[in-house]
Structure 1
Amino acid sequence: MRKNNTLWGYFFLAPQLLGLLAFSLIPLGFALVLSFMNWDGFGEKTFAGFSNFIGQFQNPVFWKALWNTALYTILYVPVGIAISLLLAIMLNNIKGKEIYRVFYFMPVVTSSVSVGVIWMWILNGDFGILNQFLAMLGIDGPQWLTDTRWVMISIAMLSIWWQVGYNMVIFLAGLQGVSKSYYEAAQIDGASKIQQFRHITLPLISPTTFFVSIMAIIGSFQVFDQAFVMTNGGPAKASYTLVYHIYETAFVNFRMGESSAAAMILFVIILIFTLIQFKFSDRWVHYES
């Protein structure tokens, strides 16, 4: 019976495992091998050693892309997590939260191209809705997508709106797992709402916060669609991200080896940040016993 159950378990796991192998592990291995090669995508591959990696570190465009990606991460991750948590707290104890949850989650399932095109109209510096609203308040709105000072802020704003529903649902699930008995005991002891949030809510949903922060940072380092659709990496490469650099190097300049090397560097960066988060998670992540 146990052997039969094990076989059925592997049977149901097989589609996911095959998908992981075909679309993740094999392409990752191929990219790793290709990062040590010179190849234009059509001709013969020649061994290049570490020259592709050295070339990336000596390329100012790569460092520009890395800086833009880091700036986007700084703008997007903390603000997005804070807004998602705030919305989850607001929806946690109200009637009809299922309806609100659907509305907030709808942008998540909308295609990135559609979202990008809509926000291009919203953020248009001449006739966009946002600047029209600011003008009603007596504020002269900036050129959101054509000003190097505002373009990454604009992309971060879009991403927060686009993904806030996903993080909110995750936080909402974490909040619903917190027993109300903790809050009842805190109220008896005279704890304020802020004290309850600080000493009960935050510690008990810290595993959820940990998960959301890891996924948000990984996603932020992979930002591409927004910059590709809205700004094409401009102006003056102010929204030129690391994944955009990987794409352009491979499919515009046809330097597959250099592109793979940049992708491997991105993989290592994401891995390092993830390991650092796991390393220090014991200091602030509390699992209910």
Structure 2
Amino acid sequence: MATITPPVRPRDEVRAAPPRMPRRWNRESVVALCFVAPAAIGFAIFTLVPAIRGLYYSFTDYDVFRPESFVGTANYERMATDPIFWNSLVVTLQYVVINIVFQTVFALVLAVLMHRLTQSLVIRGIILGPYLVANVIVALVWFWILDYQIGIGNQFIEWLGLDRLAFFGDSALAIPTIAFINVWRHVGYTALLIFAGLQMIPKEMYEASAIDGAGEWKTFWRITVPLLRPVLAVVLVVSIIGSFQIFDTVAVTTQGGPVNATRVIYYYIYDLAFNRYEFGYASAVSVALFVILAGISLLQLRLTRANQSDLA
């Protein structure tokens, strides 16, 4: 009996069955989505949706008590000729410059000292201590310490034979005082971030430098700073963004005074929205601040080449 051979299909007509997705991959995907979902939902509810609504309100006249009315770019045109807005931007820039310069320098010195002299957990805890205290509490404590009448700081100054200083009442001293309060609070945290970056620098680099006869100062500028550049870039970006968001220290001490000397842009937005109920214009100022911060961050990352490392 002859066997019947089935016809052979051309190779082009043979189609491989689509690969079945492994069950393990599906399980891992579900688990991953379960972990990501809370953060994604929180981001959407508390960040994305308010940001979109804020962008919409920036083109409206809205004061909560009546429905918003679309006004186009009127809020942005008002902003361009608003002297208080430009003054708040200048005041904020003054604060940012003072805060970033001193905070970065002090943090870098502390981090290098910890890296070269001691790596004790106790020392790290002491340095991080001020950062663990709420910013409002820190501001109030320093407000009492530097009070013109009863502050122990002014009593010490008077004991030295000098005149008392109105740290929060003098327009020339108010912003530097607020800046140094926040430097005192954040310098430990910034130092620990830099210290973590120093841990990634190979010890062989310093050994080779010592063999070549380079001193501490030369080693710092020729090895430490170049190899620490990506970490410093990220620290600077985070610190600058945080400095632009200064609000609580001003709110519990000077409340924008004296004579708008400490009316930073965040406090100006708060004043517009919750004191004057000009939510449309406050939203426009917020959008302008977002654009400014995004531009500064991108420019800073580009100039510092934060995505490149000399260790590669």
Normalised TM-score (structure 1):
0.95
> Number of aligned pairs?
289
- Could you tell me how far 1:248 is from its partner in structure 2? 0.5
* Equivalent-residue separation in structure 1 for 2:309 and 2:218 (angstroms): 17
Give the conservation status (yes or no) of the 8 Å contact 2:75–2:284: yes
Pair 1:178-2:201 in alignment: yes
More divergent stretch after superposition (239-248 vs 120-129): 120-129
Give the conservation status (yes or no) of the 8 Å contact 2:230–2:307: no
Give the conservation status (yes or no) of the 8 Å contact 2:229–2:306: no
List runs of 5+ in structure 1 lacking aligned partners. Answer: none
Name the aligned partner's letter for residue 193 of structure 1.
E
* Equivalent-residue separation in structure 2 for 1:158 and 1:145 (angstroms): 12
Percent identity over the alignment is 33
2:223 corresponds in structure 1 to: 200
2:55 corresponds in structure 1 to: 32
The structure with the larger Rg is 2
Of 214, 230, 235 in structure 1, the residue corresponding to residue 237 of structure 2 is 214
* Equivalent-residue separation in structure 2 for 1:31 and 1:143 (angstroms): 38
1:18 corresponds in structure 2 to: 41
Name the aligned partner's letter for residue 144 of structure 2.
W
Q: Secondary structure at the match of 1:11?
A: helix
Structure having the higher helix fraction is 1
Give the conservation status (yes or no) of the 8 Å contact 1:203–1:285: no
2:279 corresponds in structure 1 to: 256
1:96-119 CA-to-partner distances (Å, cap 9, x unmatched) read: 621121122122121122111101
2:76 corresponds in structure 1 to: 53
> Per the alignment, do residues 185 and 178 of structure 1 end up closer, same or farther by CA in structure 2, a change over 3 Å counting?
same
Of 185, 209, 226 in structure 1, the residue corresponding to residue 249 of structure 2 is 226
2:104 corresponds in structure 1 to: 81
Pair 1:126-2:160 in alignment: no
* Equivalent-residue separation in structure 2 for 1:285 and 1:150 (angstroms): 40
1:239 corresponds in structure 2 to: 262
* Equivalent-residue separation in structure 2 for 1:239 and 1:279 (angstroms): 31
1:165 corresponds in structure 2 to: 188
2:169 corresponds in structure 1 to: 146
> Per the alignment, do residues 96 and 216 of structure 1 end up closer, same or farther by CA in structure 2, a change over 3 Å counting?
closer
* Equivalent-residue separation in structure 2 for 1:96 and 1:177 (angstroms): 14
Structure 1 residues 57-136: aligned runs within 5 Å: 57-95=80-118, 97-136=120-159
Name the aligned partner's letter for residue 40 of structure 1.
D
> Per the alignment, do residues 283 and 230 of structure 1 end up closer, same or farther by CA in structure 2, a change over 3 Å counting?
closer
Give the conservation status (yes or no) of the 8 Å contact 2:231–2:306: no
> Per the alignment, do residues 195 and 12 of structure 1 end up closer, same or farther by CA in structure 2, a change over 3 Å counting?
same
Q: Secondary structure at the match of 1:168?
A: helix
> Per the alignment, do residues 74 and 25 of structure 1 end up closer, same or farther by CA in structure 2, a change over 3 Å counting?
same
- Could you tell me how far 1:160 is from its partner in structure 2? 0.2
* Equivalent-residue separation in structure 1 for 2:32 and 2:306 (angstroms): 36
Give the conservation status (yes or no) of the 8 Å contact 1:210–1:285: no
> Per the alignment, do residues 141 and 287 of structure 1 end up closer, same or farther by CA in structure 2, a change over 3 Å counting?
farther
2:18 corresponds in structure 1 to: none
2:12 corresponds in structure 1 to: none
2:30 corresponds in structure 1 to: 7
Give the conservation status (yes or no) of the 8 Å contact 1:206–1:284: no
2:301 corresponds in structure 1 to: 278
* Equivalent-residue separation in structure 2 for 1:199 and 1:141 (angstroms): 44
Name the aligned partner's letter for residue 58 of structure 2.
S
1:267-288 CA-to-partner distances (Å, cap 9, x unmatched) read: 0110110111122123996342
Name the aligned partner's letter for residue 268 of structure 1.
V
List runs of 5+ in structure 2 lacking aligned partners. Answer: 1-23
Name the aligned partner's letter for residue 274 of structure 1.
S
More divergent stretch after superposition (126-135 vs 70-79): 126-135
What root-mean-square deviation, in Å, do the aligned CA atoms of Structure 1 and Structure 2 show?
A: 1.7
